[in-house]
Amino acid sequence: MSDILTHTDAGVMTMTLSRVDKKNSITAAMYTAMAEAIQEAARNDAVKVLVIQGHETIFSAGNDIADFLNHPPKGNDAPVFQFLRGLSTLAKPVVAAVAGPAVGVGTTLLFHCDLVYAGDNAAFAMPFVNLGLCPEAASSLLVPNLVGYQRAAELLLLGEPFTAETALEMGLVNRIVPPTEVNALAHKQATKLAAKPLSSLLETKRFLKQGHAAAVQTRMTDEAVVFGRMLGEAPAREAFTAFMEKRKPDFTKV
Ligand code: COA
């Protein structure tokens, strides 16, 4: 069975991360499938709203570390960047349902969703520095815009996990519910959106995003260049090797 499941019903396309045994970590093949689903959502008139969801125990552990180590994304057309560009420029509304850990891109993709619902077990983190990397998905622009510089610096330099309550207070999350209810709530809200005039949804989203749209794409491209370079350097290799060897990374020698 595919690790990315999609189905469309009553104007709502649902994209489900379904690799629970590996904590919904995302491989290049999964990014390609996600980018294709987003393209389909954009061009198919039967789709008015996209829902992104995981499992009630895990949203996503972020990039698949082994896959990243063995097949690092090369250039701006790598599957991860195609996915992020597609999501961040999708004109139709996107609703996310997050339960359990949402690590790395599992958190940063949410900055490109319009409505985000979280289970009370959600745990967000952007541990790029801890992995010898830099932010991606324009998070270095969007996080300070959302929470101010110092709080953004804490989130992105220390990279510690934060709770659903904190995400709600930051404005990243719209509402917190029990994990078993989060996917249903996202669908309920998506169905409400799908019943509204699409042209009004599109114009409203476009105006909501207009202030930062160009800057987001520029920052995402700039981050991708540095992120790609850092993936091949010693700190990231040490962090990723340590994760696979189930030990703490030692950055004293890199
Ligand atoms: N890439 C590849 N495999 C991953 C993964 C990732 N990002 N995250 C988890 N897995 C795998 C583990 O290796 C393990 O595989 P195994 O059963 O073959 O040993 C399995 O998923 C379960 O993970 P585990 O760490 O035992 O689960 P947990 O419930 O204790 O912790 C997380 C869950 C998400 C907190 C933890 O897995 C984690 O921190 N993952 C790494 C997150 C990360 O740094 N992502 C950023 C990448 S840029």
Q: Residues 79-104: pLDDT tens digits? A: 999 999 999 999 999 999 999 999 99
Mean pLDDT of 214-238: 96
Secondary structure (DSSP) of 37-55: HHHHHHH-TT--EEEEE-B
From atom 15 of ligand 1, which residue's Cα is the shortest distance away?
22
Question: Residue 239: CA atoms inside 13 Å, Cβ hemisphere, count?
Answer: 16
Secondary structure (DSSP) of 148-166: -HHHHHIIIII---EEHHH
Give, for 49, the enclosing helix (H) or strand (E).
strand 49-53
Ligand 1 lined by 127 (C-beta under 6 Å)? yes
| Alpha carbons 181 and 209: distance in angstroms, whole number | 29
Instruction: Kindly report, residue by residue over 107-136, the tens digit of the pLDDT.
Output: 999 999 999 999 999 999 999 999 999 999
Pick the CATH number of 1-178+198-254 from 3.30.160.60, 1.20.120.450, 3.20.20.140, 3.90.226.10: 3.90.226.10
Domain ranges of the chain: 1-178+198-254
Mean pLDDT of 178-189: 98
Ligand 1 lined by 65 (C-beta under 6 Å)? yes
From atom 40 of ligand 1, which residue's Cα is the shortest distance away?
61
Q: Which letter does DSSP use for residue 179 in this model?
A: G
Q: What is the mean pLDDT of the chain?
A: 97
| Alpha carbons 72 and 28: distance in angstroms, whole number | 9
β pairing state of 12-17 and 4-9: antiparallel
Ligand 1 lined by 86 (C-beta under 6 Å)? no
pLDDT band at residue 253 under the 50/70/90 scheme = confident
From atom 8 of ligand 1, which residue's Cα is the shortest distance away?
61
202 Cα: distance to centroid of ligand 1 (angstroms): 37
